[in-house]
Amino acid sequence: MARRLPLSRRRPCRPIQGQRRAGRRKAGDGAEARWPGIIIPRMQQLSRREFGSALAAAVPLVRSTVLRGAQALVGVSTSSFRDLPRIEGRDNVDDVIRALQAVRATHAELAFSSIEPAPPSVAPAMGGSAAYPRRIVLSPEQVAATNAGARTALRDWRIRTAPESLDSVRRKLAAAGMRVHGCSLSYDPSFTDEEIVATFRQAAALGVGTIASPLTMAMAERLVPFAERSGVAVAIHNQMEGNAAGEIDAAHLNRALALSPMLRVKLDVGTLTASNRDAAAELRKYEARVAYVLVKDRLRNGGASQPFGEGDAPIRAIMNLLEESRPAIPAIVEYDYVGLKSSIHEVTAALEYLGAAR
């Protein structure tokens, strides 16, 4: 069992074990909506003032975040910072780097969305005037049209963006002391060949040798030639067993990996746990092909993600295996549940839990 934190370090207002299990969300309840090739968060975003306050408030917490084990590589997925402010048409690289620094992370998985222009929001918003405010809600047709336009604009941006234009992003990450182990996005049939080439070109320009994505078997087969020509590996992000999208799960990893040595695994501990798999055994099984391990805590039987220490994932066993791995396999923390505080606080709490569990 994962070791519980001392009472003095537990966060308030969490339900007790029995209450948590009785009232847990169904599998698939999430904080984001997916459209082909693009993810638009539903989570409430912070204003820039709130973001600055969150950074300042996190400093005392972060100073106590010390991870044991000099050989273990522990990082954070930038997709964890979904509540950071976004401006339509602009990236948020600077804010993401500040967030990584706030939680004292020097290893990361970089979501491509962090370097891409933000899409227009389709969430309900307040409009009108101060005297006559009104809530603006887009119709389903307006949402579909907005997202279709955003998808086309994103494809065009990827294709026309020259690799050298990402030099500034690479320099910013290097200046901040960040080592990026992989870039993440979600490949699907809406990607054209030209767009796929662009994503591999951009990863290489950032100095990153791995792109991680959920994949169907057909998409994995399609990506193999691109990976072999570019020298950038593709890490399959394992999904729930028997998922409706037909994306590769633990039961089909062997078949997928046999397609090419350029295919690796982004081993999702939370998804394996929710699928009632032994995550530690799966790590031992695929160790030679694992690019990095995504550390999350989830409930078994298709349960939702939980704050670290409140789910069923064998986090202690996973961290022990990673500390023994040679070459070292990175552990990447992802915050994907709806927490009580900002993403900076929630990620910090996850890192503190890992430090106590190792």
DSSP one-letter code for 216: B
Domains, the chain: 48-124+133-357 (3.20.20.150)
In the predicted model, what is the mean pLDDT of residues 259-283? 98
User: Helix axis angle, 343-357 relative to 315-324, nearest 10°?
Assistant: 70
CA angle 266–270–272, rounded 5-degree value: 75
- Flag whether pLDDT at 73 surpasses 80: yes
Residues 6+ positions from 333 with CB-CB distance below 8 Å: 74, 75, 76, 77, 80, 295, 296, 347, 350, 351, 354
Facing residues of 108 across strands?
76, 180
Query: What pLDDT, on the 0 to 100 scale, is given for residue 220?
Result: 98
Q: Give residue 47's pLDDT band: very low, low, confident or very high (50, 70, 90).
A: low
Asked if 220 contacts 211 with a C-beta cutoff of 8 angstroms, the reply is: no
Q: ω before 12 within 30° of 0 (cis)?
A: no
The amino acid at 112: F
- 318-334 pLDDT tens trace: 999 999 999 999 999 99
3-class SS string, 117-178: CECCCCCCEEEECCCCEEEECCCHHHHHHHHHHHHHHHHHHHHHCCHHHHHHHHHHHHHCCC
Question: Of 67 and 161, which is predicted with more confidence?
Answer: 161
- Flag whether pLDDT at 61 surpasses 70: no
Low-confidence winner among 35-49, 98-112, 172-186, 300-314 (lowest mean pLDDT): 35-49
Residue with tokens 């394992």: 238
Low-confidence winner among 50-59, 121-130, 236-245 (lowest mean pLDDT): 50-59
Residues 6+ positions from 95 with CB-CB distance below 8 Å: 51, 81, 84, 85
Question: Of 319 and 45, which is predicted with more confidence?
Answer: 319
331, 336, 297, 52: CA torsion to nearest 10:
70
- 151-175 pLDDT tens trace: 999 999 999 999 999 999 999 999 9
Query: What pLDDT, on the 0 to 100 scale, is given for residue 49?
Result: 54
d(CA 109, CA 235): 12
Query: What pLDDT, on the 0 to 100 scale, is given for residue 51?
Result: 52
- 191-209 pLDDT tens trace: 999 999 999 999 999 999 9
Query: What pLDDT, on the 0 to 100 scale, is given for residue 311?
Result: 97
Query: What pLDDT, on the 0 to 100 scale, is given for residue 203?
Result: 98
Q: Is 114 exposed, middle or buried (0-12, 13-18, 19+ CB in 10 A)?
A: buried
Query: What pLDDT, on the 0 to 100 scale, is given for residue 16?
Result: 38
Global confidence as pTM: 0.80
Asked if 182 contacts 208 with a C-beta cutoff of 8 angstroms, the reply is: yes
- 273-299 pLDDT tens trace: 999 999 999 999 999 999 999 999 999
Q: Is 165 exposed, middle or buried (0-12, 13-18, 19+ CB in 10 A)?
A: exposed
Q: For 245, what's the count of Cα atoms within 13 Å in the CB-facing half-sphere?
A: 18
